[in-house]
Amino acid sequence: MIPPPFQYYAPTSMSEALSLLQQHGAESKLMAGGQSLIPLMKLRLASPNHLIDLQKVPGLTTLEERDGALVIGAMVREATLEHSPLVRQRYPGIVEASEVVADPVVRNFATLGGNLAHADPANDHPAMMLALRAQMVAIGPRGQRRISVDDFLVDTFETSLAPDEVLVEIHVPQPAPHSGSAYVKFERKVGDYAVAAVAAQVTMNGDVCAQAGLALTNVGPRSLRAGAAQQFLIGKRLDDQTIREAARLAGDAAEPTSDLRGPAEYKRAVVRALTARALRKAAQRATGGAN
């Protein structure tokens, strides 16, 4: 399969990339690793006339803790996240999401920014970013702005980025003491999208839960925040009964449809089981110390 023809640009500065976007507007597409976009172009599901490759734009590969956040450049590759000692130690949920994106060879090129900007409800990072309450930083002709991940994810393949904006950084709040995160995915085989997956984040205050983040992958038109389940956990000990009730509420928050990966009611049951697992893992990490 061969993509339809297009003009190719590899701008070497952000201002050049932005002016190309302005010039070509809806006819153009940004490309990060190309691991979602090139398959779509081969299938003629995307046919941009102008392809703007971001790989030579400087400043998009930051990976450091700064001003209370883990700052991840949009062009940071999955393989880099997976192997970063900082991310492994402090943000295990992000590593667990990276490790289940596609397969190790695809992850050598796929980027975090591409995974989020693609806004496929089957993509693994959006739910983890919802649970961690991340902020997206975008730049456009009107300057830079921050967007909460809840506002960023609009619908299937749709974000709140304007057509002339570029996602530049993802800011993940640094974990408070006694916090833990986890991502648990159920897939049919390596490299497949999730039947369902659950992202969890908890912060403990003594033996009660002070803050919780819970979000779901591939059981709705976009990655979903399980708001009622999060709320239910606050102020409670994370015992079996509490976790069972939170799992039930998370199942109710899912909006699955029946497809090749299973009937809707089955997926809802998978969400309940994975919610319990993700919460236990996150809580264990929170009470175990470091992360």
Partner 1 sequence: MTHVTLTINGEAHQAEVEPRLLLVHFIREVANLTGTHIGCDTTSCGACTVLINGTPAKSCTLLAVQVNGAEIQTVEGLEQNGQLHPIQQGFFEEHGLQCGFCTPGMMLVGKALLEQNPNPSEAEIRRAISGNLCRCTGYVNIVKAIDSAGKKMREPAATGAPTA
Ligand X SMILES: Cc1cc2nc3c(=O)[nH]c(=O)nc-3n(C[C@H](O)[C@H](O)[C@H](O)COP(=O)(O)OP(=O)(O)OC[C@H]3O[C@@H](n4cnc5c(N)ncnc54)[C@H](O)[C@@H]3O)c2cc1C
| Cα angle: 181, vertex 191, 82; to 5 degrees | 40
Enumerate binding residues for partner 1 (CB under 8 A).
1-8, 10, 31, 34-35, 38-39, 41-42, 51, 53, 55, 79, 102-106, 108-109, 190-191
Rounded Cα gap, residues 258 and 198, in angstroms: 18
Q: Which does 193 bind (CB under 5 to 8 A by kind): ligand X, partner 1, none?
A: ligand X
Q: Does residue 215 touch ligand X according to CB under 6 A? A: no
Report yes or no: 113 and 73 within 8 Å, Cβ to Cβ.
yes
With respect to partner 1, which residue has the nearer C-beta, 6 or 266? 6
3-class DSSP state of 236 = coil
Q: Does residue 31 touch ligand X according to CB under 6 A? A: yes
Report yes or no: 181 and 199 within 8 Å, Cβ to Cβ.
yes
Q: Does residue 80 touch ligand X according to CB under 6 A? A: no
Q: Are strands 28-31 and 50-53 parallel, antiparallel or unpaired?
A: parallel
Q: Does residue 253 touch ligand X according to CB under 6 A? A: no
Q: Which does 260 bind (CB under 5 to 8 A by kind): partner 1, ligand X, none?
A: none
Find, among 257, 201, 208, 259, the residue nearest to 230 by Cα: 201
Q: Burial, 128: exposed, middle or buried (Cβ in 10 Å; 0-12, 13-18, 19+)?
A: buried
Find, among 194, 184, 180, the residue nearest to 278 by Cα: 184
- Per CB under 6 A, the list member of 82, 193, 219, 279 interacting with ligand X is 193
Question: Phi first, then psi: what are they for 261, rounded to 5°?
Answer: -85, 0
Least spacing, CB of residue 106 vs partner 1, in Å: 6
The encoded tokens of residue 150 equal 């809840």
With respect to ligand X, which residue has the nearer C-beta, 111 or 230? 111
Report yes or no: 215 and 230 within 8 Å, Cβ to Cβ.
no
Q: Does residue 121 touch ligand X according to CB under 6 A? A: no
With respect to partner 1, which residue has the nearer C-beta, 49 or 231? 49
Q: Does residue 136 touch ligand X according to CB under 6 A? A: no
With respect to ligand X, which residue has the nearer C-beta, 113 or 180? 113
Least spacing, CB of residue 17 vs partner 1, in Å: 15
With respect to partner 1, which residue has the nearer C-beta, 1 or 260? 1
With respect to partner 1, which residue has the nearer C-beta, 35 or 217? 35
Number of Cβ within 10 Å of residue 263's Cβ equals 12
Q: Does residue 110 touch ligand X according to CB under 6 A? A: yes
Q: Which stretch binds ligand X (CB under 6 A): 4-12, 32-40, 240-248, 265-273?
A: 32-40
Rounded Cα gap, residues 202 and 234, in angstroms: 9
Rounded Cα gap, residues 237 and 234, in angstroms: 9
The encoded tokens of residue 143 equal 């300057």
- Per CB under 6 A, the list member of 17, 18, 21, 32 interacting with ligand X is 32
Which residues sit at the interface with ligand X, rule CB under 6 A? 29-37, 39, 54, 74, 101-102, 106, 110-111, 113-115, 117-118, 123-124, 161, 166-167, 191, 193
